[in-house]
Amino acid sequence: LPSINTFFMQIPPHPVLRLPFSTLYIISYDYASKKYNIPINAVDDIENCTFLFPSLIKQDSLIIGCSTSGNAPEIAKLIKNKIQNILPQNLGKIIEDFGNLRYELKSILPEQKLRAKVCHRLLEYCQNKNFDIGYNELHKKMLNLSEDINEKNNDKVTNRG
């Protein structure tokens, strides 16, 4: 019977290695990770663990990971659930929309400081609407804000000269 620091490794059939059938080996974590550079996830055996999975929240492009470095997975899960409960349901979609709008915004406003102002105001607008906003409305608001900020910037430049 294998001990806690061993595991089964199955090698599928492989023509180059001339393995005509799948082979099952019992090897130690240490041997697998060092000899074959195989990542090992064994949260109940931290010393033999080469990587950990964080507790993940994924909403489209939004990914948030929470980890306790394997010390208390249940606490990581609790924190994940608390964060998940306060996030707007469509925040991931808004993030994707922002990403798509960035390219157009770069062509409208080449200056990064002006783009940052537009993005900041656009985010405030989304927050005021509780992130309940579609792409078309977001796009229209971005264009309006870009125009306003660009005009104010041009006025400042004109008044200086």
Provide the 8-state DSSP code for 78: H
The CA-CA-CA angle for residues 71, 77, 80, to 5°, reads 120
Q: How confident is the model at residue 159 (pLDDT cuts 50, 70, 90)?
A: low
Tell me: the pLDDT tens digits for 86-137? 999 889 999 999 999 999 999 999 999 999 999 999 999 999 999 999 999 9
Q: Which helix (H) or strand (E) holds 123?
A: helix 112-128
**Tokens standing for residue 122:** 């656009």
How far is 30 from 42, CA to CA, in rounded Å?
Answer: 12
Q: What is the pTM of this model?
A: 0.65
User: In whole angstroms, what separates CA 152 from the centre of its chain?
Assistant: 35
Answer yes or no: is pLDDT of 78 > 80. yes
What are the E-state strand segments in 1-134?
Answer: 6-11, 23-28, 55-59, 62-66
